[in-house]
């Protein structure tokens, strides 16, 4: 009886570590993307940079106006089917002040 419980607890702990890992990756990617966009990089290049750093299937949105740059990332972290828990959705949002002279545009 103890072994199945131990396996289940270990699987839940490993899933929790995965959720934290994805959250950190998304936050770091959002920060890097916001800095690059604030410097004047094209939004397409910034989006490509961010997509490479986040898990596959994550939704990335990059917006720039006259004063700020915003990067939003949403990723879903699925569990093992044996655990039976629903997928956990991770969000990361970062905003940075745009450098002077950077034209406002919006990511398609």
Rounded to two decimals, the pTM is 0.81
Q: What is the 3-state secondary structure (H, E, C) of 33-64?
A: HHHHHHHCCCHHHHHHHHHHHCCCCCEEEEEE
Statement: residue 108 has pLDDT above 70: no
Statement: residue 91 has pLDDT above 60: yes
pLDDT tens, residue by residue, 32-82: 999 998 888 888 999 999 999 999 999 999 988 878 899 999 999 987 766
Choose between 95 and 66: higher pLDDT: 95
Phi, psi of 71 (to 5 degrees): -125, 125
């Amino acid at each position: 009886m103890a072994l199945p419980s131990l396996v289940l607890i270990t699987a839940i702990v490993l899933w929790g570590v995965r959720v934290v890992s994805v959250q950190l990756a998304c936050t770091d990617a959002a920060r890097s993307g916001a800095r690059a966009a604030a410097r004047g990089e094209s939004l397409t290049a910034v989006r490509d940079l961010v997509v490479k750093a986040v898990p596959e299937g994550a939704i990335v949105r990059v917006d720039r106006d006259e004063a700020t740059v915003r990067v939003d990332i949403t990723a879903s972290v699925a569990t093992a089917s044996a655990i039976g828990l629903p997928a956990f959705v991770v969000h990361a949002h970062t905003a940075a002040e745009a450098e002077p002279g950077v034209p406002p545009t919006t990511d398609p």
